[in-house]
Amino acid sequence: MIPLRIAIADENKIFRKGLTAILEDYEKFNLVLETGKGLEIIDQLALKKPDVILMDIKFPDIEGLQMISRIRAKSDQVKILILSANYEDNCIISVMKAGANGYLLKDSEPEEVIHAINDLQDKGFYFNEYLSVTLIKDLLVQPPATIGSHEAMLNDREIDVLKLICEESTNIEIAKKLFLSVRTVEGYRTRLFEKIGSKKIAGLVIYAVKNGIISV
């Protein structure tokens, strides 16, 4: 198994070292970059090629949302897990919409950090119970027009796949449940992103809630 390449960006050196110590206990992780500067992550992205970036949203040299946007401009593949002390709903929603794949509070248990990284690799996103509720609260106060794909026409099979995506099922799990090949599921997932007009899982969840495909 090829180890996951991990980058850590946090201005708090003690916190960075703590994360490093946690990751070093797992052979499946390879720490390729540790820095207290946001711009260094952006500058080294092409060279270090991390699979996952663990980052705060406060840096002395760049604003967090801008950093996420610049990372996304360089790579759609790298997974971004936010580790922050900010538990306010608007902050969480903002970073998810900016392109983050998951959000954890800094007082989370080490086991949850590891679980989140694994989910990012397997599913492309990480929703814990708190984050799911936070997102849904945001969805329910936004008018459908802001979703951008309220009129998207989905067939029955696409709706089945969408429901399972919202249940956090992996492509392999969806394939088994619907008796499809993994490649076919990947095709459905791609079409859902195109039809709904979103590049992120959060957008699919928003669409599904707003259009009554899944219930809160």
Question: Residue 140 has which token pair?
Answer: 């329910």
pLDDT, tens digit (0-9, with 9 covering 90-100), for 128-184: 777 777 777 776 665 544 444 445 689 999 999 999 998 889 999 999 999 999 999
Q: Spell out the per-residue pLDDT of the chain, length 216, in tens.
A: 789 999 999 999 999 999 999 999 898 999 999 999 999 999 999 999 999 999 999 999 999 999 999 999 999 889 999 999 998 888 888 898 888 999 999 999 999 999 999 988 887 888 777 777 777 777 666 554 444 444 568 999 999 999 999 888 999 999 999 999 999 999 999 999 888 877 778 778 878 887 888 876
pLDDT of residue 140: 65
Rounded CA separation 212/216 (Å): 9
pLDDT of residue 88: 85
Neighbours of 43 (CB within 10 A): 12
pLDDT of residue 216: 60
Rounded CA separation 112/102 (Å): 12
Does this model's pTM top 0.75? My answer is no
pLDDT of residue 139: 65
pLDDT of residue 214: 84
pLDDT of residue 51: 96
End-to-end CA distance of the chain: 38
Helix, strand, coil abundance in the chain, percent, nearest 5: 55, 15, 30
Contact 135, 93 (CB under 8 A): yes
Give the contacts of 100 (CB within 8 A, at least 6 positions apart). Answer: 68, 80, 81, 82
Rounded CA separation 46/70 (Å): 12
- Residue 78 C-alpha from the chain's centroid: 10
Task: Sketch out the chain's domains with CATH numbers.
Answer: 4-137 (3.40.50.2300), 145-210 (1.10.10.10)
